[in-house]
Amino acid sequence: MALWRKHCARDDPSVDLSKDRPYLRPMAILPILEVPDPRLKTISKPVESFDDDLKTLVNDMIETMYAAPGIGLAAIQVGVPKRLLVIDLQDEEAEGEEPVRNPRIFVNPEILDPSDEHSLYNEGCLSVPDQYAEVERPAQIRARWQDLDGKVHEETMTGLMATCLQHEMDHLEGILFIDHLSRLKRQMVLKKIEKARKMGGGHVHGPDCRH
């Protein structure tokens, strides 16, 4: 998931992420699939082996998410149809300071108790470049997932975390945030992306970064 404010965040390629995790091989930034790539409609399969390949994939996904920059990424967005996602909301409240990195990993996530109360967020998606729209989702959920060792966790989520987790979990079902919009709005978004690509694709961010 991408937020419009995130989209303008500092993206410093000189930051060496592997320093935080020195026991790992250098991580790789993976190409992100974009609409209308049909692979984004895949229903992802449960993760069954909690092995080194899974850890490698997760670390590459985390690096890819930070580099984009985004606050969440599902495995299918890098072409891997597994029920796996990474999220880091990277709170940037303290302006001028480096956001604290705290990536969270969700393997085989499930939503247990979506609340009747809904909330509205301006969502974006790394697979739907430069497009943002308000989406309504349950304001609170109970989430259950496994970690990289297969251990099961449960937690109640609210606010942006609840929204982001639901956005990423939609990817596991082949659903994008634009699928929550009216058909007309969705077509408009897809046309804008097509047009931007025809113009050469290079989106330049203005100083206030309004789209």
CB of 77 to Ni ion, least distance (A): 7
Give the binding range for Ni ion (CB under 5 A) out of 36-44, 88-96, 98-106, 125-133. 125-133
Give the binding range for Ni ion (CB under 5 A) out of 12-20, 24-32, 122-130, 148-156. 122-130
Bridge partners (DSSP) listed for residue 72: 87
User: What's the Rg (C-alpha) of the chain?
Assistant: 17
Cβ–Cβ < 8 Å for 100, 121:
no
Q: 76: part of which helix (H) or strand (E)?
A: none
Could you say whether residue 71 binds Ni ion (CB under 5 A)? Answer: no
Could you say whether residue 125 binds Ni ion (CB under 5 A)? Answer: yes
Catalytic residue among 92, 117, 123, 168: 168
* 168 is known as an active-site residue: yes
Q: How far apart are CA 162 and CA 171, in angstroms?
A: 15
Could you say whether residue 135 binds Ni ion (CB under 5 A)? Answer: no
Could you say whether residue 65 binds Ni ion (CB under 5 A)? Answer: no
Closest by CA position to 90, among listed 60, 110, 67? 67
Please give the positions annotated as active site. 168
